Structure 1
Amino acid sequence: MLIHPWDAARDDAEWQQWLSVHDFGQLAVNGPAGEPPFVQPLHFAYDPSRGEALTHLARPNPLWGALEACPDVVLSVVDDYAYVPGPWQADPDVPSEHGTPTSFYAAVQLRCRAHVVDDPAEKAVLLNHQVGHFQPEGGTSLVAADEVPFGRQLSGIRGLRLEVTGVRAKFKYAGKRTVQVQDRIADGLADRGGPGDAAAREHLLLRRQRA
């Protein structure tokens, strides 16, 4: 992923805060020799205090063998994307039809070392952490090994602790454009109001304040 200086995260807090609420991504695992990588969509809970993401998958998942052969993986998350028409991006001294269309998006790629969790008690802790993240209002019984209602189901899954070893974060929101062009884009996103437009506009304006 190419990251220009004007698209880079301002600091760790920017991508960590974004990742705390964008918790569905794709786990890329090296495939066997001569084969493409496995790409697994999944929910995860990122814990910045421990520098790891927690998740789990069904035991029959075909990626386990490849994961154990090479535990170095990438967890990729992309969201808050919007298409930006060319005229919105045109500089003031050129015809609007000469503007270049582009895509806005936020992307965080976590390079990780995967640790498989098979101990039932450790899996229960991992699952409770995930449920606590996604369902803080409660309403679901805690998981405990060998106890109802979920203890018997633990054998059907394997947990994953993804130890973060590197981070690449990109927030592509007109960072190199003039204020005049940024204002035009922000107005265009507000008027269009399509999926992702409000979030993209918020990124554009917030990053301009932090510049």
Structure 2
Amino acid sequence: MLIHPWDSPPDDEWRPWLAAHDFGQLIACGRDRDLPVVVPTHFSFNGDNTVRLHLARPNPIWQALEENPNVLLTVLDDYTYVPAAWGGTDVPTSYYATVQLACTALVLDDPAAKAELLTRQLAHFEPPGGRSDVSADDEADRRLLPGIRGLELTIREVRAKFKYGGNKSPEVRARVARRLAERDGRHDAAARSHVLDRDPAP
């Protein structure tokens, strides 16, 4: 992925963004394969260097992980199309945020470890009053746990790109922000927030 200096997020901006964007694609290359295995999945990020998730036991990713535990978790959101006229050029562009995590995967098969992982995920995803914990000693949970395998990903490298006109003048960014507000498309509000974070409109 090409990351220009003006598209590189400052400091650890990617961390809170990733914590709020908990669905992505897990990519396992395996070894000597024509194509990698790509799995869309929810996950939970601990804010530091660990990502946790679980997948069904029949998932094809397990064989690829046995071949090679190195994986890529990629998350993309807050994207929008910026017409050429908005930027004052003849070339349209896309604004988006993406975080790519190069990780080492550890497969969890121990029932207690899977129960702990699921409990962490429930704490992250479930609404107040929803289910709060899983136990390897509970009869119902004990029957369900063999159907999944857990994954703990240790982050080795982060590639983050927040492409929101960081190379444009304040006047151009202000104009783009106004046009995004006027259009008010699916991701325009989120994109506009990123544009204004980088250079507040006058």
TM-score of the pair, normalised by structure 2 = 0.95
Q: Could you tell me the percent identity over the aligned residues?
A: 54
Gaps of 5+ in 2: none
2:74 corresponding residue in structure 1? 76
1:94 corresponding residue in structure 2? none
2:118 corresponding residue in structure 1? 127
Aligned residue identity for 2:7: D
Mapping 1:1-211, distance limit 5 Å:
1-12=1-12, 14-49=13-48, 51-90=49-88, 98-135=89-126, 137-208=128-199
Structure 1 residue 141: Cα displacement: 4.9
CA contact (8 A) 1:143 1:151 kept: no
Structure 1 residue 140: Cα displacement: 1.0
Structure 1 residue 99: Cα displacement: 3.0
Distance 1:138 1:161 in 2: 26
Evaluate the alpha carbon distance shift between residue 66 and residue 132 of structure 1 in structure 2; reply closer, same or farther with a 3 A threshold.
same
Question: Per-residue displacement from partner, 1:53-79 (whole Å, max 9, x unpaired)?
Answer: 000000011110111110000000000
Q: Any runs of at least 4 consecutive aligned residues in structure 1 with deviations exceeding 3 A, and if so which?
A: none
Distance 1:199 1:152 in 2: 42
Structure 1 residue 34: Cα displacement: 3.8
Distance 1:3 1:35 in 2: 27
Q: Give the stretch that moved more between structures: 147-156 or 76-85.
A: 147-156
Aligned residue identity for 1:4: H
Distance 1:34 1:54 in 2: 25
CA contact (8 A) 2:16 2:47 kept: no
Gaps of 5+ in 1: 91-97
SS of alignment partner, residue 190 of structure 1: helix
Distance 1:134 1:141 in 2: 10
CA contact (8 A) 2:31 2:68 kept: no
Aligned residue identity for 2:83: P
Distance 1:89 1:79 in 2: 21
Q: How many residues align?
A: 200
- Give RMSD over aligned pairs: 1.2
Distance 1:58 1:86 in 2: 44
TM-score of the pair, normalised by structure 1 = 0.91
Aligned residue identity for 2:20: V
1:95 corresponding residue in structure 2? none
Distance 2:117 2:149 in 1: 10
SS of alignment partner, residue 150 of structure 1: helix
